[in-house]
Amino acid sequence: MQLSVVLPTYNERDNIVPLIERIRASLANVSHEVLVVDDASPDGTADAVEERFRDQPEVRVLRRRADERGLRTAIQEGLDQSMGEAVLWMDCDLSMPPEKIPELYAALAASDVAIGSRYVAGGRDAREDVPLHRACSRLLNVFAQAVLGSAVLDYTSGFVCARRRVVQEVRLAGDYGEYCIDFLHRARKLGFRIVEVPYTNTARASGESKTATSAVGLVRRGVVYGAAIVRLALTH
């Protein structure tokens, strides 16, 4: 199998089925599996997937216990249980276009990690509904470049395609979205080649952001991410 798509979900019932349909249509020419890693979403995300894709063995749901909740551990568990020669993970809120996946996968021919990037030429963060998230993300990436170097422009991408060998060597670390900064920096330090594929990040289609729903929550996350950047600079 060429590609495993790992989809971490918490309350994405209205987004996950159209997302998987679009992923599968985009990957008509790539052998793949789709692994939804759901943390006991109360809105019935896992049930919606099982009902819709019952007849498609390429689509699986890993149901984790409610007390296992966490974005980084969910992605890691999906990676651990996946079988593709390459892996990809992304948000499940329809903010990242699955039609970009073939381009990310193809980019692995000349790289080890290919990320969807909002900050490389041609990319854009068009989340008009959450200007504070947008500003915070921009600021964190400017800070990350100043501290860790500008080899990567979208350290908090979260739209990541990688060769299996990379995720075998670089286990995800951290609590939430800072895992991505950590993963990209350590992968680069190990000599893996990272390329950025421009894409436009749009508003989540339905449901609530899990990163933060208030300015205070967002700043709290920002501080954690900032601390992770400084710690990385000191240790790697």
Ligand X SMILES: Nc1nc2c(ncn2[C@@H]2O[C@H](COP(=O)(O)OP(=O)(O)O)[C@@H](O)[C@H]2O)c(=O)[nH]1
CB atoms within 10 A of CB 106: 13
For ligand X, give the closer residue by CB, 30 or 132: 132
Q: Which stretch binds Mg ion (CB under 5 A): 51-59, 95-103, 105-113, 194-202?
A: 95-103
- 112 in contact with Mg ion (CB under 5 A): no
Distance (Å, rounded) from C-alpha 219 to C-alpha 122? 28
Which of 5, 6, 12, 107 forms a contact with ligand X (CB under 6 A)? 12
- 12 in contact with Mg ion (CB under 5 A): no
Q: Where are the alpha helices (DSSP H) in the chain?
A: 13-26, 45-52, 71-80, 101-107, 131-148, 164-169, 178-189, 215-235
Beta bridge mates, 200? 124
Chain centroid to CA 6:
9
Rg over alpha carbons for the chain, rounded to the nearest Å, is 17
Q: Which of 140, 88, 102 is nearest to 118 (CA)?
A: 140
Q: Which stretch binds Mg ion (CB under 5 A): 2-10, 14-22, 86-94, 128-136?
A: 86-94
Which of 38, 39, 93, 196 forms a contact with Mg ion (CB under 5 A)? 93
**Do 71 and 43 meet the contact criterion of CB atoms below 8 Å apart?**
no
Q: Residues 95 to 154: which contact ligand X by CB under 6 A?
A: 95
* Shortest Å distance, C-beta 38 to ligand X: 6
Chain centroid to CA 51:
24
Beta bridge mates, 126? 202
- 9 in contact with Mg ion (CB under 5 A): no
Side chain identity at residue 152, one-letter code: V
Contact letters for ligand X, residues 191-230 (x by CB under 6 A):
-------------x----xxx-------------------
Distance (Å, rounded) from C-alpha 108 to C-alpha 225? 27
Chain centroid to CA 159:
4
- 37 in contact with ligand X (CB under 6 A): yes
Question: Binding partner of residue 12 among Mg ion, ligand X, none, CB under 5 to 8 Å per kind?
Answer: ligand X
For ligand X, give the closer residue by CB, 44 or 149: 44
For ligand X, give the closer residue by CB, 111 or 156: 156
Which of 95, 141, 157, 201 forms a contact with Mg ion (CB under 5 A)? 95
- 8 in contact with ligand X (CB under 6 A): yes
CB atoms within 10 A of CB 126: 13
- 93 in contact with ligand X (CB under 6 A): yes
Distance (Å, rounded) from C-alpha 225 to C-alpha 143? 10
List of residues contacting ligand X (CB under 6 A): 8-10, 12, 37-39, 69-71, 74, 91-93, 95, 204, 209-211
List of residues contacting Mg ion (CB under 5 A): 91, 93, 95
